[in-house]
Amino acid sequence: MAILSDQDIRKYLEMKKIIIEPLEDPDRQIQPSSVDLRIGSEFKGFRIIRQPCIDPLDPTDLESYMESFHIEQGSPFIIHPGEFALATTYETVELPDDLVARVEGRSSMGRLGITMHVTAGYIDPGFRGKITLEISNIGKMPVALYSGQRVCQIVFETMTSPSLKPYGHPDRDSKYMDQEKPVTSKIKQDYEIRDRRQSRLI
C-alpha cells in the first residue's frame, strides 16, 4: 500500500476518483499527504442515565442514550474533560473500490487534549457520506469547537487490487452508508449480536 501525495490527491480529485464536497479551499486544505476536513454543525452527546451499562443485547434503543445538538454558525460546542461526543465532517467524502482512507486528528487539536476518533479512523473502499468523528477531551480544560473549523485530516492509501465487495455492496452490511448527521452506534445490527438476541427470544 502507498499513501497518496498532494499531487496524486489533486489528480484523483480532478478525475472524480475521490470526491470531497464541498472542498472550498483546496490550496489550504490539501496538505503534503492529506486533506484537512472541517467539523459540521451537528453533534450528539450522552445523556445522564440511570443504567448500569450500555448492553448491546438490551432491547433498549441506543438512540435514547444520546441527545442531538445543532450548533449555529459562530456558536461553540463545548466539550468538557472526560466527555465524549459524536459529530461529522462538514464535507461529504466518496471513495473508489481500490482506495482506503484514514482519519487522523490535527496536531493543533491533539495539543489541546482533543482526539477526533476513538477507534473508527478507518474508512472502507466504496464508502460515501460524511465521516463520523468520535471526539473525546482527554485534557484538563473545556475546549470550544466551531462549525467549519479544521479539526482532522484524511489520508488516502492505495490497495493491492480493487475490493470485490466494497462498502455499500448489496452483500455487505454497510450500516453507515450515506450518513449526513452523527449516527448512534448500530452495534445491535452486528450479526453476532443480532443472532444472540434472537436466540434469547426462542
Catalytic residues: 134
Residue 185's nearest CA partner among 5, 56, 71 is 56
How many other CB atoms are there within 10 angstroms of residue 95's CB atom?
A: 24
Name the 3-class secondary structure at 11: helix
Between vectors from CA 104 to CA 99 and to CA 107, what angle results, nearest 5°?
145
Pairing assessment for the beta strands 122-123 and 143-146 based on DSSP bridges: unpaired
Residues 36, 155 contacting (CB under 8 angstroms): no
The H-assigned helical ranges of 87-180 are 107-110
